Amino acid sequence: MALSILGYLTAFTPAFKTFTPSNPAGPEDWKDYKSWYKITKEPNTGDPTGFLDKKHRGTSAFRDVFINDKGKATNVGDAEFPYPEGTIILKEAFKSQKDYDAQKKPELTVMVKMASGSSPSTNDWMFYMGGDGKLSGTGMESKWGKFCGSCHINAIATDFTFMNHKFGK
């Protein structure tokens, strides 16, 4: 009896994971993202920040952003930047409003906060192009680290993220 309760608890309590460049996060870690806190109350379209430069499927795309529990307090302003280790932020980009309404085939991009000191040039963020986790990079010297990081660094004051409580204020 006691053992089966223990088994139940272990199976349903998410273990705290430490991510590093050699032990990166993957699709398993963001598979439940639809249940996370949704940062965008309305989907972003156009170029609300002025930094889009046709990325994230461009100005006609409809984009929603989700953040896991780890990072929520920082995002909403209940905790200071930088985001804590273990934060995962995921963005869905739909080609058009039509695709958004049908929730059809979004392109996913993901940012994962690794252990402190993992990648100083990107504030310890690892970047993912696509939800399958296959294309990723961290330091500015890596392909994806540079591609994503060299634009997200425009938001350095808010730890490489554009969509947070400071946006538009």
Binding site for ligand HEC (CB under 6 A): 44, 48-49, 51-53, 55-56, 63, 65, 89-91, 109-111, 127-129, 144, 147-148, 151-152, 161-163
Residue 111 bridge partners (DSSP): 89, 127
Question: Could you count the other beta carbons within 10 Å of the beta carbon of residue 140?
Answer: 16
Is 7 or 109 the residue whose CB approaches ligand HEC more closely? 109
What is the CA angle 135-138-144, rounded to 5?
A: 45
Shortest reach from residue 63's CB to ligand HEC, in Å: 4
What is the CA angle 125-130-133, rounded to 5?
A: 65
Shortest reach from residue 127's CB to ligand HEC, in Å: 4
Shortest reach from residue 91's CB to ligand HEC, in Å: 4
- Between CA 105 and CA 56 the distance in angstroms is 13
Q: Is 158:81 a contact under the CB 8 Å cutoff?
A: yes
Backbone angles phi, psi at 4, to 5 degrees: -70, -30
Is 49 or 60 the residue whose CB approaches ligand HEC more closely? 49
Is 17 or 165 the residue whose CB approaches ligand HEC more closely? 165
CA 105 to centroid of chain Cα atoms = 18
Shortest reach from residue 60's CB to ligand HEC, in Å: 12
Is 18 or 154 the residue whose CB approaches ligand HEC more closely? 154
Is 2 or 157 the residue whose CB approaches ligand HEC more closely? 157
Shortest reach from residue 13's CB to ligand HEC, in Å: 26
Tokens standing for 24?
């990166």
